[in-house]
Amino acid sequence: MQAAQSGRVRYRILLMLFLVTTVTFADRSSLSIAGTALQAGLGIDAVALGYIFSAFGWAYVIGQIPGGWLFDRFGTKPVYTLALFAWSLLTLLQGFVGWLPTTWAVSSLFLLRLLVGFAGAPCFPGNARVTASWFPSAERATATAIAGSAQYAATALFAPLMGWVVQALGWQFVFIILGCLGLALSLLWLKNLYVPREHPLLSAAELQLLEQGGALVDLDQRSGAGGPQWRHLRLLLTQRTLLGIYLGQYCNNAITYFFLTWFPVYLIQARGMSIVGAGFAAAVPAISGCIGGVLGGLLSDGLLRRGHSLTLARKLPSVFGLLLSCSLVLCIFVESDAAVVALMTLAFFGKGLGSLGWTLVADTAPRQILGLCGGLFNTFGNLAAITTPIIIGYLVSLTGSFDGALLYVGANALLAVVGFTLIVGRIHRLELPADGRSAAA
C-alpha cells in the first residue's frame, strides 16, 4: 500500500530500462539470425563465423572498466545516451557491408562488430546504477530481473521478425531496421532519464520511500569528484564474495551467448529448420527465459520481505535456476524438434531464474565505485562473449556436430553453481573507509 501511495515514477524508469535493454540485445543477437544467410553470401566457414560472432565480445570486455569509470566520473544520463546513439549508428552501418567486395565485407563487418561492442560496454553498468538509485533494496531484484529479462524479450520479439526480414529482404536489412530503431530510442531515452532528485514528476513521498528503502538516490550527484581511484581495482579483485559473483556471471553468460549466437544456427544446420522456422523456434525458449527472469527477481525479493537473509534470497533462485539450465544437454539424446524446443525452453527458463548477477552487484558494490565495480563484473562476465562463440565454432568444425557444444554449455551451468555455493559467502555491501580497506556495511 505504501508503495502505491508513494508514486510510480520509478516504474516509468524501469520501462525505459526494459526498452533500451531489449534493443541492446536485439542488436547483439542480430548477427545470429542473419548468420546462416550471411555465411552463405560471404562464403565463410564455421570458424570464421565464430570469430565474427566473438568480435563484439572483444571490444565489449575491453570497454567495461573505462565505461564504468565514465559513469562514476560524468554520471549516468550523458554517458548512457551517447552509448545508445553510437551503438545504434554502428549497427545501422553493418547493413551496408554486403555491397563491398567479399574480403572488405568480412573485415568491415568484424571491425563494426568490435565498435558496437565498445560503444555498448557502458550500458549494463549503467543499468546497475539506475536500479541502485531508483529502487529500494526490497524491490531491487525484481527491477533488475525485469530489466534483465529484456535479453529474452529481444529474442522472442525480434527473432521471428528478423527471420522473416532475412528471407524476404536479405540479411543486410536486419541491421538497417534495428539500427534505425535504436537511434529513435536514444532520443526518447534522452528525454525521460533523470536522477531521482531531479525528476520533475517524482513526489516527495516516493523520494522518501526510495531513501528509507536503501536506494542510492544521490549516486550521480557524487559523480564528477575526480571519479574512482584505480587503486580500488585491487580491492575488487581480492574479495571472495565478488570473485564468486564474477565466476558465476562468466558461466551464466556462456549460456547467454550460446543462445545469442549459435542457437539459431544449431536449429538450422543440426535440426534442418528453415530460417523463419528457426526464428519462431528460438522465440519459445526466449519467452520462457523472460518469465523465468521475472520470477527469479520476484522470488528473491519475496524471500527477503519474508525475513530471510539477503544471502539466501539471492542464492536460492540462482542455484536452482542454473541446475535447470543443465537440461539442454539432453538435446543430444532426443530426435524430435519439439523435444529439442521443450528442453531448450526449460533450460532458458532456468537460466532466467538464475540471472541475479546484476542484483548482486547492486547489493555488494561499494557506493563510491559502483560503476567501476559493475564494469569489472561485466568484464569477467563477458569474457564468455569472446570464448563461447569461438570454442563452439571450433567444436562444430572439428566434430561436425553440436553435441560437444551442448556439453560445453551445460558444464558452464554446473560451474556457475559451484561459484555461487562454494565461493560466494555472505552477501553484504562493501565499504571504502579512509584507509582503502573494505568493510561490511
The amino acid that residue 221 corresponds to is: Q
Q: Are 314 and 427 contacting, i.e. CB atoms less than 8 angstroms apart?
A: yes
**CA separation for the pair 407, 324 (Å, rounded):** 14
With bands split at pLDDT 50, 70 and 90, how would you rate the model's confidence at 33? low
pLDDT at 30 exceeding the cut of 60: yes
CA 66 to chain centre: 18
pLDDT at 5 exceeding the cut of 70: no
**CA separation for the pair 7, 1 (Å, rounded):** 11
What are 145-202's pLDDT values in tens digits? 788 777 777 777 777 777 788 777 877 788 888 889 889 988 888 888 887 888 888 8
C-alpha cell at 139: 524491490
pTM: 0.68
Select, from the ranges 190-204, 218-232, 309-323, the one with the highest average predicted confidence (pLDDT): 309-323
3-state SS, residue 248: helix
CA-CA distances (angstroms) from residue 265 to 39, 48, 104, 147, 175?
10, 14, 24, 27, 18
Pairing of strands 439-440, 430-431: antiparallel
